């Protein structure tokens, strides 16, 4: 089942971190996954037709706001679907790596609480999304280009 396969990467790390997932909230699309969800002792709470789950909708608005903010100063009018997905992943990554005022901890990020993963300045904070980089390549006196796109100056940047 596709819905359950999409939920497992969220539920399993939470369980490994010692959290008990006892409720899943969603819309009517989750109704098809009810047998799979309840088999694991998780209560499924589905909202009525033409209603939305407030927490989920609020998070979606936050995600869209951050994505619009990152795209506001770009020269592109449209982005391919692949880049939009990458942007959503990028924004989600950083939202999960900063502490939330309404979260479990005021000083620890959700990502650290669940997986122990911390932000590393050298790997995660050097380049912004869609930032174009040209790096000087040491070369002999020949006709090869002296700069290359997407180079990271010898560093290996962790992909999100």
Domain layout of the chain by residue ranges: 1-8+21-51
Instruction: Give this prediction's pTM.
Output: 0.68
Which of 46, 52, 16, 18 lies closest to 31, judged by CA? 46
The CA distance from 78 to 109, in Å, is 32
Predicted local confidence at residue 63, as pLDDT = 93
Q: Which residue's structure tokens are 């979606």?
A: 60
The CA distance from 159 to 152, in Å, is 12
Region of 43 on the Ramachandran plot (φ > 0 left; ψ -120 to 50 alpha; else beta): beta
SS3 at position 113: helix
E strand or H helix that includes residue 136: strand 134-136
**Residue pLDDT tens, the chain, 160 long:** 577 777 777 777 777 888 888 888 888 888 888 888 888 888 988 888 877 778 888 888 999 999 999 888 777 778 889 988 999 999 999 998 988 888 888 888 888 888 888 888 888 887 788 777 766 667 677 777 666 665 444 444 444 4
The CA distance from 26 to 42, in Å, is 13
SS3 at position 25: strand
């Amino acid at each position: 089942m596709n819905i359950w396969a999409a939920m497992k990467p969220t539920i399993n790390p939470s369980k490994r971190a010692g959290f008990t997932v006892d409720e899943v909230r969603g819309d009517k699309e989750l109704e098809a996954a009810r047998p799979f969800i309840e088999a694991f002792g998780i209560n499924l709470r589905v909202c009525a037709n033409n209603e939305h789950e407030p927490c989920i909708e609020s998070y979606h608005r936050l995600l869209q706001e951050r994505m619009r903010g990152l795209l506001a100063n770009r020269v592109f009018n449209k982005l391919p679907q692949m880049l939009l997905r990458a942007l959503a992943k990028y924004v989600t990554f950083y939202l999960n790596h900063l502490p939330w005022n309404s979260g479990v901890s005021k000083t620890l990020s959700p990502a650290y609480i669940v997986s122990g993963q911390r932000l590393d300045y050298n790997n995660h904070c050097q380049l912004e999304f869609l930032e174009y980089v040209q790096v000087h390549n040491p070369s002999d006196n020949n006709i090869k280009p002296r700069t290359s796109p997407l180079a990271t100056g010898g560093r290996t940047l962790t992909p999100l």
